[in-house]
Amino acid sequence: MRDVTGILIAGVGGQGIILAGKLAAQAAILGGMDVKTSEIHGMAQRGGSVVTHVRFGPKVFAPVIDSGGADFLLAFEKLEGLRNLKFLRPGGTVILNDQVIEPLPVLLGKATYPADVVEQIGARFPLLVINALAEAEGCGDTRTANVVLLGALAHRLPFPRSVWEEALRAVVPARFLELNRRAFARGFEIAASKQPRLRQK
């Protein structure tokens, strides 16, 4: 792990990207790190792209991850994952939600959604693909797919589970806490049992 760790969380408005970013930042703060974050919403209200930058380390001076500077890309939607690969450093890891949300140009028939997104990403970076919606449904609510994905990321970050539990308590409303705990634990379990793989070209 480098002195400063960069996490890029990318997806579509309404998928819970901002909450996932807040949880990651809170865990880093509780873990004793300096943390900087930045959010780019785009046209989030209309299902547009949303990107959150989270950087933590002993001392962090800038909130935005430069191209080639992210250690992890947590992608909530497949095409958004492909679009944001430029932010990953060589050897960085992609955790990808196996979900398609067609952007407006595709819906209007002006573009085609690529059929080989997973193959394109997996040929360039270590990749872990999770069907987060299905896993979240198994935990009790598909709306916790974001926390399933965060749990998978947490397995690869240098903070103990107790810190993540504290972060969940601090950020998630009490009435949803147990549900999100289950989702987080499921994502963590998946990541523990599966290693990201780089597909050979």
- How confident is the model over 66-91, as pLDDT tens digits? 999 999 999 999 999 999 999 999 99
- The distance of Cα 82 from the centroid of its chain, to the nearest Å, equals 13
- Based on the structure, what is the number of domains in the chain? 1
- Which residues on neighbouring strands pair with residue 7, listed in sequence order? 54, 72
Residue 198 lies in a domain: no
Of 58-62, 119-123, 191-195, the one with minimum mean pLDDT is 191-195
Residue 152 lies in a domain: yes
* Residue 83 burial class via C-beta count within 10 angstroms: exposed 0-12, middle 13-18, buried 19 and up: middle
Residue 201 lies in a domain: no
Residue 84 lies in a domain: yes
H helix intervals, the chain = 17-30, 78-83, 104-107, 117-122, 132-139, 145-154, 161-171, 174-193
Residue 147 lies in a domain: yes
* Residue whose C-alpha is closest to residue 197's, from 97, 127, 93: 127
**Other C-beta atoms within 10 Å of 120: how many?**
17
CATH of the domain at 15: 3.40.920.10
The pLDDT confidence band at residue 201, using thresholds 50, 70 and 90, is very low
Residue 13: the pLDDT is: 87
Using CA of residue 180, residue 182, residue 187, residue 188, what is the dihedral sign?
A: positive
Residue 197: the pLDDT is: 72
pLDDT reading at 42 higher than 80: no
Residues 134-142: what's their mean pLDDT?
A: 96
What is the distance between the terminal CA atoms of the chain, rounded to a whole angstrom?
27
Residue 181 structural domain = 5-108+115-193
Determine the Cα–Cα distance for residues 121 and 144; give it in Å rounded to an integer: 24
**Other C-beta atoms within 10 Å of 1: how many?**
9
